[in-house]
Structure 1
Amino acid sequence: MRNPPEIPAAFVRQMEHWLGAEARDLVAALSAKPWRGLRYAAIARPRGELPPSLAPFLSGGVPWAADGFYLAPGPSLGYTVLHQAGAFYLQDPSAMAVAVALDPQPGERILDLCAAPGGKTTHVALMAARRGGAQLVANDVHRDRVLALAENVERVGAPCAITNESPAALADAWPQAFDAIVVDAPCSGEGMFRKDPAVRAEWRPDAPERFQVLQKDILRHALTMLRPGGRLVYSTCTLNPLENEQVVLWLLDHYPVALEPLPDWPEWRPARSDWAADREEVGLAKRLWPHVGRGEGHFVARFRLLDPVATSPRRRSKAATPSTDKAWDAWLASLVAEVPPAWRKTVARKSVVFADALGDLAVSSLRVLRPGPPIAERKGQVFVPHHAASRLLPPGGFRATVEIDEETAIRYLAGEPLALPAGHDHEATFCAVAHEGFHLGFAKRAPGRLNNLYPRGLRSTRIESLAALAAEVDSSSYT
């Protein structure tokens, strides 16, 4: 295996300029192993807990995130049944602070502007679901990244709309439209040096200056989409003050915003006011330094918009109306025990029926990957449940559910049919397939068996047993 690239000498010199002798501790930490974490993620069960089968892999809770846990050194859990079922999301512990900083409130309209690959979007969606729900839009400008975002949103059952637009285009369409916005900005990625060797290799000395220009442009557009009194959370996974404290200072100097205090998270330090013209309020933002806290480098600041930035409010578009299609209503009733109201307000695109999560935010000029979560596909005159719909309802939400053990679940995720359990001969045509109470997908009843409807593009023969992986965990690292 090729050795990872060295930490760039120019980066070390920059950190010595900012940190002095403390830079040695930082560089040493960036040469160590990264911290790994996972977070409970099943949004259909927002008050649920991680299954006991994951306990051998956990190494204590993340102090700033109630749903977060450190992973003990050992194997990756990305190819396990519970990960495929959306029970948990693998996420850097430090990144879990962003949704906590946003603090989503019931009924709010929220935008995650730079959302891919989806860790923060799905965390915001989970927190919002616990508080009665919110209208959530996740956006990313890059086509390849927005596809990864859609996959992760679908896996955990986040009921959001997904757009693939530039901040400028969204700002034109949605002035003063949101109560809260997350800008997890593109950055030089210095906080990821020990996690991702490619970031080390690609870093250049002028990267902080170049990214600062982009960050300011994104924030400029984000503020026009925020209603007066709304909140904006700005975060990066980099260390340089040019992209952190000095961006905060720029916002304070040029826009009607005020910094708000964040929770007193253990292991996080205040941002450095002395790196921002000695503006005392800059210290309300927070940093996690890799040589101080158990996580990768991260910066978080929360602003309150005091006065409107956009010149006029958004013109409201016409939202979808509840479905009056008797065939659709009858099919829904055959699939679910109680039809969610959101499933009656639908948008059809080609053969796919989506729940309408955009509502009156819909604008024809915008590139919308998904106007909401997919519910069904129309095949001729017949509806078939879309795989994404399996993650949207809690246990008992579907009229028929088959609970299977891990060994059977591994075969299901590889595409094999299931045996028809006793008592299912006269049940609904489609049934949900679950493991430890988490839905994996759907199956269709056939004579003597259940045909597998797990999407072909997601099927894998690489899924591993948690029991087998537990033997590889380094239990000596537990805290």
Structure 2
Amino acid sequence: MRNPPDIPTAFVQQMEHWLGSEARDLIAALSDKPWRGLRYAAVARPHGELPQSLAPFLGDGVPWAPDGFYLNPGPSLGYTVLHQAGSFYLQDPSAMAVAVALDPQPGERILDLCAAPGGKTTYAALLAARRGGAQLVANDIHRDRVLALAENVERVGAPCAITNESPDALAEAWPQAFDAIVVDAPCSGEGMFRKDPAVRKEWRPDAPERFQALQKDILRHALTMLKPGGRLVYSTCTLNPLENEQVVLWLLEHYPVELEPLPDWSEWRPARSDWAGNREEVRLAKRLWPHLGRGEGHFVARLRLCEPVADKPRRRSKTATPSTDKAWDGWLASLVTEVPPAWRRTSVRKTIVFADALGDLALPSLRVLRPGPPLAERKGQVFVPHHAASRLLPVGFFRATVEIDEEAAIRYLAGEALTAPGGLDLEAPFCAVAHEGFHLGFAKRAPGRLNNLYPRGLRSTRIESLAALAGAVASSS
């Protein structure tokens, strides 16, 4: 077989070993353009819909993700007002299946162990919000990646805690602590070959074996953090059975787990039992092959823990109690029409007030980037709303809100002040700024204008008009 440019010859040989003549179809598919997708993302409005202004860019719905759509050929939407507002998340269609497989239930405690950059965490938060909410902790061991995770979580308003720890440190701190855990494991990334040239360039023939060892190590620690009866979702974006079926086989042979059936997703195929000691139940896991489905390569398995793996449950630590700070309570009352209970249980770090999402999971030994979503910054005796708080509530829950058009929104995201409209609550010192029903951030009232509080580090002069992009797409078709 003549392999396409940049596809490693050793990878082609490995796929020929596993797939035989079918490998040529796979390799040919890896030369095609990748599938692009987006999904609804605003956690504060879990039952909302994508704005109609996105319609010109959307193709078919993603069959396995009710919130997802394929993107038509055209420009990137990452520098548009609605993306900055957190109304949608750009995500590979295949990756959307992981949160759907997790199937968050009301009131559960959930850990996303390898969470960056946040696509699966934010979708899990949205699905959980539709069912009344869950306690969600997102972790990533890499400092640079965990910062990207925090930015994406903040943008869509996911009210989760964020930690920056190794799996072994978390396992020591949180034995038998979670109802469900997602391990979207580090992998050789073969499913991303047609999307990311760097992944193709960095791939090595021994990558599947090396990553398999890392995946097993992560899973060992994950299982100790799972309650008996809890579920583990294991996923990768790679193709080699060493990192997929054979890891699941290892789990079945070494731990008290059983595979659970996944939904009957169109275009996904059963995992291959002949690559896993002919264990028929391995077929309950699923694969999306790039030559057989509209997505990048992905593997998903859901397992139930039948017996505890940790020796004993964790010790409960002290939880935050509702605030008795009259200044804080009074300030909240001036900001919102109804104070969410989570905003009264706070954790203060330096000058930032966070909603406490860790609860009794908090331990001084852990590296915690955020114990929950930031709510405010204290400047002397004055509180200023944190940008993240604007994404946590739907439009109408702040005492003062101004809805602006796209042109004004682009200026706001660049850092410009706004003209103050009439009819705002004169008692509210701060105002939420919204576009098409999604919050952009805050402004501070001043005579005749609204001073911009959009964070300086997020301001951009590169924001493009969605209407203009839609016009360009229409004229080119």
Cα separation, 1, equivalents of 2:32 and 2:221: 38
Structure 1: segments with no counterpart, 5+ residues: none
- Determine if the alignment matches structure 1 residue 328 to structure 2 residue 328: yes
Question: Cα deviation per residue 1:300-327 (whole Å; 9 max; x = unaligned)?
Answer: 0000000000000000001000000000
Where has structure 1 moved over 4 Å in runs of 4 or more?
A: 474-477
The alpha carbon displacement at 1:209 in A equals: 0.2
The alpha carbon displacement at 1:427 in A equals: 4.2
1:88 is matched with: 88
Question: Cα deviation per residue 1:196-235 (whole Å; 9 max; x = unaligned)?
Answer: 0000000000000000000000000000000000000000
2:65 is matched with: 65
Partner AA of 1:465 in structure 2: S
1:469 is matched with: 469
- Kept in 2, the 8 Å contact 1:238–1:298? The answer is yes
Q: Structure 1's 9 and 315: CA in aligned 2 closer, same or farther, altered over 3 A? A: same
1:8 is matched with: 8
Residue aligned with 2:308, SS? coil
1:363 is matched with: 363
Partner AA of 1:344 in structure 2: R
Q: Give me the CA root mean square deviation.
A: 1.1
The count of aligned residue pairs is 474
Residue aligned with 1:473, SS? helix
- Determine if the alignment matches structure 1 residue 435 to structure 2 residue 435: yes
- Kept in 1, the 8 Å contact 2:401–2:424? The answer is no
The alpha carbon displacement at 1:423 in A equals: 2.0
Cα separation, 2, equivalents of 1:360 and 1:287: 37
- Kept in 2, the 8 Å contact 1:187–1:237? The answer is yes
Partner AA of 2:157 in structure 1: G
- Kept in 1, the 8 Å contact 2:258–2:304? The answer is yes
1:293 is matched with: 293
2:266 is matched with: 266
Residue aligned with 2:133, SS? coil
Cα separation, 2, equivalents of 1:50 and 1:259: 35
- Kept in 2, the 8 Å contact 1:5–1:200? The answer is no
- Kept in 1, the 8 Å contact 2:61–2:69? The answer is yes
1:219 is matched with: 219
Partner AA of 2:310 in structure 1: A
2:130 is matched with: 130
The alpha carbon displacement at 1:471 in A equals: 2.9
Cα separation, 1, equivalents of 2:423 and 2:276: 68
Residue aligned with 1:439, SS? strand
The alpha carbon displacement at 1:473 in A equals: 3.0
Residue aligned with 2:327, SS? helix
1:242 is matched with: 242
The alpha carbon displacement at 1:5 in A equals: 5.8
Cα separation, 1, equivalents of 2:221 and 2:426: 56
Question: Cα deviation per residue 1:330-367 (whole Å; 9 max; x = unaligned)?
Answer: 00000001000000000000000000000000011000
Partner AA of 1:11 in structure 2: F
Q: Structure 1's 208 and 383: CA in aligned 2 closer, same or farther, altered over 3 A? A: same
Q: Percent identity?
A: 88
Partner AA of 2:432 in structure 1: A
Question: Cα deviation per residue 1:116-158 (whole Å; 9 max; x = unaligned)?
Answer: 0000000000000000000000000000000000000000000
The alpha carbon displacement at 1:470 in A equals: 1.1
Aligned pairs for 1:339-418 within 5 A: 339-418=339-418
- Determine if the alignment matches structure 1 residue 165 to structure 2 residue 160: no
Partner AA of 1:468 in structure 2: A
Partner AA of 2:36 in structure 1: R
Aligned pairs for 1:48-127 within 5 A: 48-127=48-127
Aligned pairs for 1:179-194 within 5 A: 179-194=179-194
Cα separation, 1, equivalents of 2:353 and 2:175: 28
Q: Structure 1's 474 and 224: CA in aligned 2 closer, same or farther, altered over 3 A? A: farther
Question: Cα deviation per residue 1:263-283 (whole Å; 9 max; x = unaligned)?
Answer: 000000000000001000000
The alpha carbon displacement at 1:426 in A equals: 2.0
Cα separation, 2, equivalents of 1:434 and 1:424: 14
- Kept in 2, the 8 Å contact 1:355–1:373? The answer is yes
Partner AA of 1:179 in structure 2: D
